[in-house]
Every structure is written in C-alpha cells, then in structure tokens.
Chains A and B, each alone.
Chain A
C-alpha cells in the first residue's frame, strides 16, 4: 500500500468518525417532540390587533402546523425557517419589522421548523421591530 493510499484511508476514516460524532450530537440535542393529535392556539399579534387560530394537528413542529392552515410564508436559512409573512401580512424590512415567535410566554430560540409543539401550547406570532 503506497503512502497516498494510506493517507486517503486515514482521511476517509477521519471523515466517517467525525460524521458519526456529529450525527449523534444532532440527534441527542434535538428537543423532545410529541407525536399524535394535538391542539394548539396561535395568536397573530400586530399592534393592538390580535387574531386567534385554533389548530388541530398531528405535526410535531410548529412550521408544519402553521403550513396546514397556510398561515405563514418564509424562507429557510442557517438559523432555521425564518417567517416573513403571517396571515398575509409581510414584515417590512425597511421598517426593521420581523415576526417574533413566542411559545407559552417565552421567545423561542429556534426557527419554526425546529420548534416542537405539544397539546395545549399557546403560540404568539408578534410583529416586532428591532
């Protein structure tokens, strides 16, 4: 076995090991989800205007539940799914607006695609400025 072949094999092994470790970190760090039917409340808050939606869903993550009602539009990015519009109202970037996600009174640190939902959750989508 020549030197190049040895180096290639070591490199491939290193990649496989690293991939295995990272996949393990990914799966063990994911928040617990709840399967099966659930009902959540979604409040769309724009200033003093509040619209409330009840969503019955089997979805495990918020994005899927919101998409079942065609409630939002957005785009995927490095930090997760970024909501750009809710119930037809698009956040105006020129006015530094954005749609904030609050789950059970606490702002989420994850995008809608990685925010798990459970039966009884109250989700607030608040048009905010930064």
Chain B
C-alpha cells in the first residue's frame, strides 16, 4: 500500500484507533447492560485488565467513554462520582504489571479490586457525611464485595487468555 493510502498513513491510524477504542468501550457497556445477574458479577473488570495489558495507559480511553455512556444512560448520581475514579484505580494497579501474562495473577488483581470495590465507593460518603457514614456504607455492602471478589477472580481466570488473544489479534489486524 502507498503511504498516501488512508489505511496506512497517520490520519488513518488515528481513525482506526478511535474506532477501536469506541468499540472496546461499547463492549464494556453491552456486557454490563446484558448482565442478567446484577449483584456485582460483571466482566468489566476483566476487560479493563486485558485492555491495560494490550494498550497500557491508552486503556483510560475506553474506560472513560464507558463512564460517559453509563452516565448518559442513567443520569448523574453519586455512583457517577464513584465511576469517575474507581475504574481508573484498576487501570493504575494493572499498569505496572501489564507485561505479565499469568491468568492467575490477573485473576488475583481483579479479585482484590472486587474486594475493595465497596471501600472505594465509600470515599464520597466520607466527604459528604463523615467517616462513620463511610464505614457504615462499606460494612453494609461487604457481602456484595465478597461476591464481587469471587466473580472477578473466576471470570478473569477463565476469560483473560481468550480475551487477550482476541483483542491483540484485532489490534494487529488494524495495524495499531
């Protein structure tokens, strides 16, 4: 292909990247919305871990597109404040480990994230209503955090490798 071809030149690569990240965000939204079991069993954490392994800091792009779409779907509430930082915590935790490919390691990372999810969500309550309210909120939701931890661990253990291979393949095909 010639260098003037939009498929190979700079603007083409940026366009392909834009489309890819939009698609990755859409995948997160779809999997979250079609989840028939709502109680903190989700594949979003697994997807974020895979995205970080493949795209490093650019994983923030689909994450924040996802947050924007969710806010557009459900309106701005206190959970929106949680979403503004909570998924980024997972990206930041995954970044230094992104060169490792052990599904067990990533299952543990996702599991720890699930376990800490409630504590991370309690942060706004600390500023709104004080430490007591934040701790009460966290403790009230602990049993859901246990479910979240187990679900994240299991889903990531099973899906990390196939998702990684699929998205890595797509990235190479698009020459990104």
Q: Which A residues have a C-beta under 8 Å from some C-beta of B?
A: 4, 7-8, 11-12, 14-15, 18-19, 22-23, 25-26, 29, 76, 78-80, 109-110, 114
Contacts and interface: CB of A to CB of B under 8 A. Distances in A.
A7 B142 contact: no
Interface of B: 39-40, 97, 100, 102, 104-105, 108-109, 111-112, 115-116, 136, 139-146, 149, 153
Contacts of B112: 11, 14-15, 18
Contacts of B145: 22
Contact of B105 (A11, A26, A109): A11
A112 to B, nearest CB: 13
Given A4-B102, A12-B108, A19 B141 contact: no
Nearest to A8: B105
Contacts of A12: 104, 108
A114 to B, nearest CB: 7
Contacts of B115: 15, 18-19, 22
Contact of B146 (A22, A80, A110, A114): A22
A29 B139 contact: yes
A79 B141 contact: yes
Given A15-B111, A26-B142, A78-B144, A8 B149 contact: no
Contacts of B102: 4, 8
Contact of A22 (B108, B109, B140, B142): B142
